[in-house]
Amino acid sequence: MIQDIYPHKLKNQYDPEKKPAEDSIIMAFRGNEVLMASDENSAVFPRLGDFTMDKERKASLQYLISIDETDCFMLAADAFDPESEAGIGDLEIPEGFSFRDTGKLRRMDIMPRENLFMEFTGHQIYRWYRDNRFCGTCGSRTEHSRTERAVVCTHCGRTIYPRILPAVIVGVTNGDRILMTKYADRPLAFYALIAGFTEIGETLEETVQREVMEEVGLKVKNIRYYKSQPWGVVDDILMGFYCDVDGDDTIRIDRHELKEGQWFRREDVQLQPTDFSLTNEMMREFKEGRQ
């Protein structure tokens, strides 16, 4: 999966005392894009030394995460925009670098996995900072906490922490067959498993039962936990479960959610093109007889 980067280690603890060095990685995001130097075979992040920055600008860089002993800092995308609200848009993009779509980078497989996971996680933190620039209670501006990964309202003092959304991936089995699906609203050619977010007041096991019933009209039993995965694309923590069909195995698809759903025997399971996702690992576990 995308987080399987051993022997490398991602360090996500917030450290307000960290200062950027010349070889620190600088991540600049613009929507779903990240600043990179890339071609068909490789992709690298800019380092602090690639930029021309004064001391004040360097001091404003926000520490994100580290991989091993390499620190990563965030640079606001409007630093390159001369019409930015903060009036700091005079920074030049280093030669050879440009903004690239983060989703395409994941599919191209042109950087070490530890760097891809760093970008994946850094982008999630960036979106959280971006979406919490204003307090949801009083509407005032927030500022970064000086002690922890949080933002604090400058007016009412409310402290806002990152929120991680719980979601389930479900491998519904029927003897030597597993239920595989395709989403109705996504242009993806490969198969996936039943998935969905946990509702307020709902246990994970109840989420499994509800999502399977809603999407394919099946009752399930013997729900058993498999493994979890951080999935920064939609700010969630995925939790994988296997379960058995309970009684009638006739599939009744919710066409608003799915365009296809059918039972596949182990030998016929079609895996996804990359091994980044919990979904793909669960399908492979079943295909190879370990579930």
Average pLDDT, integer, range 248-274 = 94
Q: Using one digit for the tens of pLDDT, what is the confidence trace for 163-198?
A: 999 999 999 999 999 999 998 887 777 899 999 999
Is a pLDDT exceeding 70 seen at residue 2?
yes
Given this model, what pLDDT does residue 86 score?
A: 46
| Domain boundary assignment for the chain | 10-131, 165-287
Is a pLDDT exceeding 90 seen at residue 58?
no
The whole model's pTM is what? 0.89
- Distance, CA of 225 to CA of 176 (rounded, Å): 19
Mean pLDDT value across the chain? 91
Q: Using one digit for the tens of pLDDT, what is the confidence trace for 107-158?
A: 777 889 999 999 999 999 999 998 999 999 999 999 999 889 999 999 999 9
- In the chain, what percentage of residues exceed pLDDT 70? 96
Res. 89 pLDDT band, cuts 50 70 90: low
Given this model, what pLDDT does residue 146 score?
A: 87
- Distance, CA of 179 to CA of 16 (rounded, Å): 47
Is a pLDDT exceeding 80 seen at residue 63?
yes
Fold designation for 165-287: Nucleoside Triphosphate Pyrophosphohydrolase (3.90.79)
